Amino acid sequence: MHVPDGFIDAPVSVALGVVAAGGVAVGLRGARRELDERTAPLAGLVSAFIFAVQMLNFPVASGTSGHLLGGTLAAILVGPYTGVLCMSVVLLMQAVFFADGGLSALGVNITVMGITTAAVGYGLFKLLAAVLPKTRRSLGAASFVAALVSVPVCAAVFTLVYAIGGTTDVPLSKVAGAMIGVHVLIGIGEALITAATVSSVLAVRPDLVYGARGLVRPLELRTGGAAGAAGVPGQAAAPSSAAQV
Amino acid sequence: MAKVRTRTLLIAGALLALVLAGVVSFYASQSPDGLEKVAADKGIDAKVEDHALADAPLADYSVKGVDNERFSGGLAGVLGVGATLLVGTGVFWVVKRRGGEGAQPAADGS
């Protein structure tokens, strides 16, 4: 999904550069409230993990592949503001060191792939988490749906950017249909990876999942004194799904 | 399941990222991604430009001068994970420190 140089004209690239810079500034401000001693190193790891998984293109249709974007995943794990920063770090590294995503298109890419997915994904996740039962399973399901939707929305935003500043003159209906269609398929991969990762962290350290704060009970409550509780299997096994809040 | 220490989780996550980028990435699909495919099919890419840093040592996720494709891509992935981890951790460490000083986030202007 990385937009190379030459797809979007200079004025719109500059304008989205300004939008991206604004988004990063807002992210830096908001991230101060999201980051603490425990989550700051986690945020660095989330960046590196997204970089790694973005290398893993999976086939989606005839001669087409897709890869994780990661904005939804980052936002759920470390918070939406920090998530935008994670995505910006990844996209910057890719553009500067790996020639992936044009330098002039960096603002386009941060806006479309970073800010859009983090905002849409996190918003939808919180919305679903609010209406679903407060269990780990439903949080996994919420992350699945949020990630799935974030990818075609990202494709739609790219189409909008192309409509305003595209360097070529392709009918928009053709672009929108093709872009959104293929990115629904890619969104399924995004959803699987996001839900698997969020569920894994929820299983071992729910307290580290920013989007689940206040929704799931910390594990300490049921494993506190694990050695002592081992003799009471019924008690230890009972609350395997998370608590009501 | 016993509680996993934060440090253990971080190390496991970093190792997983290194394995994915260093080893598994070799088996990733080589097909164009969604945007590349649509761009080529519909003609969006008629005016595409070469990347300004296309000759960079790690361009296109391979290390210049390393001929073995598997090793070259894997090494580029490992270097990318390491560099992203360093830059990301650095950025977030600085942001966290600046946030920590205020203690009351609402107190700082605007």
- Give yes or no for residue B81 having a pLDDT over 90: yes
d(CA A235, CA A222): 9
Chain B residues with CB under 8 Å of A52 CB are 16-18, 20-21, 25, 77, 80-81
Give Cα A181 to chain centroid, integer Å: 20
Chain B residues with CB under 8 Å of A223 CB are 1-3
| Domain total of chain A | 1
Q: How many CA atoms lie within 13 A of B67 on its CB side?
A: 0
Q: Mention every residue, 6+ apart, whose C-beta is less than 8 A from residue A217.
A: A206, A239, A242, A243, A245
Is the CB of A179 less than 8 angstroms away from the CB of B38? yes
Q: For residues A149 and A180, is the Cβ–Cβ distance under 8 A?
A: no
Over the stretch A79-89, which tens digit does the pLDDT of each residue have? 999 999 999 99
Q: Return the CA Rg of chain A.
A: 19
- SS3 at position A217: coil
d(CA A74, CA B13): 14
Q: For residues A4 and B49, is the Cβ–Cβ distance under 8 A?
A: yes
Of B24, B42, B85, the CB nearest to A48: B85
Nearest chain B CA: its distance from A130 CA (Å): 26
Is the CB of A168 less than 8 angstroms away from the CB of B44? yes
Nearest chain B CA: its distance from A16 CA (Å): 18
Structure tokens at A95: 């553009």
Structure tokens at A207: 């307290």
Q: For residues A6 and B48, is the Cβ–Cβ distance under 8 A?
A: yes
d(CA B18, CA A52): 7
At A200 the pLDDT is 97
Q: For residues B85 and B98, is the Cβ–Cβ distance under 8 A?
A: no
Is the CB of A45 less than 8 angstroms away from the CB of B17? yes
Q: Mention every residue, 6+ apart, whose C-beta is less than 8 A from residue B105.
A: A32, A33, B99
Residue A5 lies in a domain: no
A217 pLDDT tier (thresholds 50, 70, 90): low
A22 pLDDT tier (thresholds 50, 70, 90): very high
Cβ-based neighbour number of residue B102 at 10 Å: 12
Nearest chain A CA: its distance from B8 CA (Å): 11
Over the stretch B20-56, which tens digit does the pLDDT of each residue have? 999 999 999 999 999 999 999 999 999 999 999 999 9
B2 pLDDT tier (thresholds 50, 70, 90): low
Of B28, B34, B84, the CB nearest to A56: B28
Q: Tokens 């506190």 correspond to what residue?
A: A224
Q: Tokens 């689940």 correspond to what residue?
A: A212
Residue A3 lies in a domain: no
The ipTM estimated for the assembled molecules is: 0.90
- Give yes or no for residue A234 having a pLDDT over 60: no
At B16 the pLDDT is 98
Is the CB of B9 less than 8 angstroms away from the CB of A208? yes
- Give yes or no for residue B19 having a pLDDT over 70: yes
Residue A2 lies in a domain: no
Mean residue pLDDT across chain A = 90
- Give yes or no for residue B57 having a pLDDT over 90: yes
Chain A residues with CB under 8 Å of B9 CB are 42, 201, 204-205, 208
**C-alpha distance from residue B12 to each of A16, A152, B70 (Å):** 37, 31, 23
d(CA A226, CA A79): 30
At A37 the pLDDT is 83
d(CA A21, CA B96): 19
Chain B residues with CB under 8 Å of A45 CB are 10, 13-14, 17, 85, 88-89
Of B3, B44, B46, the CB nearest to A223: B3
Burial degree of B98 (CB within 10 A; 0-12, 13-18, 19+): middle
Q: Write out the DSSP string of A54-117.
A: HT--EEEETTEEE----HHHHHHHH-HHHHHHHHHHHHHHHHHHS--S-STTHHHHIIIIIIHH
Q: CATH code at A193?
A: 1.10.1760.20
pLDDT, mean of residues A132-142? 95
d(CA B107, CA B110): 9
Over the stretch A91-119, which tens digit does the pLDDT of each residue have? 999 999 999 999 999 999 999 999 999 99
Range of the domain at A193: 10-217
Find, in chain A, the residue whose alpha carbon is nearest to that of B103.
A33
Interface test with A, best of B44, B70, B101 (most A CBs within 10 A): B44
Find, in chain B, the residue whose alpha carbon is nearest to that of A171.
B42
Nearest chain A CA: its distance from B42 CA (Å): 7
Is the CB of A65 less than 8 angstroms away from the CB of B33? yes
Find, in chain A, the residue whose alpha carbon is nearest to that of B90.
A44
pLDDT, mean of residues A119-126? 98
Sign of CA dihedral B37, B40, B41, B44: positive
Nearest chain B CA: its distance from A117 CA (Å): 16
